Structure 1
């Protein structure tokens, strides 16, 4: 039986215990606070990052994984595995996918598949987890790739940020929308379409966030009876628990995976981010 290794990057926001349990290799992007640099997922916990973000006078920046870093990981993993499946964050949001492709092409006769998720955070992290479970069960490479591509087409992402300031500074939302949103206390519900962050709906006032999200999710008609829902938060466990309870009471899903938003996603979303990830039937 061929040994298949699942690799992803740190913005998949996969809980560490789950990544370790399923033997997923996580390659880190980097977040910078001025001259200080930290490996996403490894050097700062989510709580530590958001605490640093709140107290820092410096706007954090991020950098993608280099081809050399991917090549080093690929070569190491190929010593003990027959093939690699590497799933990255959206190529529309980062050059990380291109770096992985360059690394793959630099290793002759290597059996490496690089997949552009066109998603962010645990939206594709949950697909990586499914791939790792299949690899552990001894499924073939083609079976795993087929399932990954099937799921990536069916993941829906909904997330809300506490302030539009970070999306504005990072160029993820236009200045006029950010200013109007902050003045009117409007919080957009954001999603992912064609690999980019897009507005899905809007909510006025913090008290309406959870009911509005549940209302929006309900309108999509998901069947959650056999579905594990992914939830992610930026160091706001109380708000996360509120959303979890609301989804549980309304939809009765099979279960939940709770993820913490890492440094790189958090640098662009800012504090107070909360997200939910679903699979369309």
Structure 2
């Protein structure tokens, strides 16, 4: 039977231990801050990046991996006849999927590229399940079918504490940001069809926790919870409060809190959280 190998990118927010244990290949994106370029989670940690971002006058820029980097990896992984499934962050926010698709056309290996339509641990839900199935000897088609099912049943919300990075990144206008800051507005958005989509506005952290925990309780009713994670940018307290509220409302306790990648925090700024889950 043909072996299947799994590739993803550094925005999946996976721990090094899990990557090693499941044999996942992770391609890093790069971040440029004050003219210096770093490889995500290779040359710079999320914490180091946060310190630099707070001191920087301009918004850091993230770049997708080069096509050549993917080609090299695909050729190496497929040299023993293995097939490759490469699952990446949403094409709505990065050119990473496009880079991977171009590389798949050039590579001598058999590569299937999947746009996860998500980021962070919502991307990881798909990657981890694919890697576990590959390890258990499932076929490429079986794995792809399962990944598509997880994608369909996943939800991701993002909340930001400051509108500064959204303005610098051109996602909202300065006038809106000024009004938002004066009113202490915290926007809540979802990643719908892979695109940042505003869903609500609240005025306090307590209201963020209330909105997200109630939405979660509603979505998981009479369903099996398969995975829950909170990715945070300098927002441990908010993430912990949300985890506690979820436990109180639903009794569910297995919620991972992780530091998110600089690729995401450059868009959100400090104080942001990403809340994601999938159910069946």
Report what 2:125 is aligned to. 126
- 1:36 matched to 2:25: no
- 1:247 matched to 2:246: yes
Distance verdict in 2 for CA 1:261–1:240, change over 3 Å: same
The answer to whether the 8 Å contact 1:126/1:230 transfers is no
Distance verdict in 2 for CA 1:215–1:249, change over 3 Å: same
Q: For 1:90-105, list aligned pairs within 5 A.
A: 90-105=90-105
The answer to whether the 8 Å contact 2:59/2:169 transfers is no
Report what 1:3 is aligned to. 3
Distance verdict in 2 for CA 1:5–1:202, change over 3 Å: same
Q: Shift of residue 223 of structure 1?
A: 4.6
1:176-220, CA deviations, whole angstroms, 9 ceiling, x for partnerless residues?
432322121110111111221011111112343222321232343
Q: For 1:194-213, list aligned pairs within 5 A.
A: 194-213=193-212
The answer to whether the 8 Å contact 1:87/1:117 transfers is yes
Q: Shift of residue 91 of structure 1?
A: 1.3
Distance in 2, matches of 1:220 and 1:94, equals: 28
Q: Shift of residue 53 of structure 1?
A: 1.3
Q: For 1:1-281, list aligned pairs within 5 A.
A: 1-80=1-80, 82-108=82-108, 110-223=109-222, 225-253=224-252, 255-281=254-280
Unaligned runs of 5+ in 1: none
Q: Shift of residue 12 of structure 1?
A: 1.6
The answer to whether the 8 Å contact 1:231/1:277 transfers is yes
1:217-273, CA deviations, whole angstroms, 9 ceiling, x for partnerless residues?
234344565432122111332322222122122222372333321111111111111
Distance verdict in 2 for CA 1:139–1:256, change over 3 Å: farther
Q: Shift of residue 87 of structure 1?
A: 0.6
Q: Shift of residue 14 of structure 1?
A: 1.8
Please say which of residues 129-138 and 167-176 is displaced more in the overlay. 167-176
Please say which of residues 245-254 and 135-144 is displaced more in the overlay. 245-254
The answer to whether the 8 Å contact 2:126/2:147 transfers is yes
The answer to whether the 8 Å contact 1:4/1:83 transfers is yes
Query: For 1:197, what is the secondary structure of its paired residue?
Result: strand
Distance in 2, matches of 1:20 and 1:178, equals: 42
Distance in 1, matches of 2:51 and 2:112, equals: 37
Query: For 2:255, what is the secondary structure of its paired residue?
Result: strand
How many corresponding residue pairs? 280
Distance in 1, matches of 2:273 and 2:25, equals: 25
Query: When the two structures are superposed, what TM-score results if normalisation uses the length of structure 2?
Result: 0.93
Distance in 2, matches of 1:221 and 1:256, equals: 14
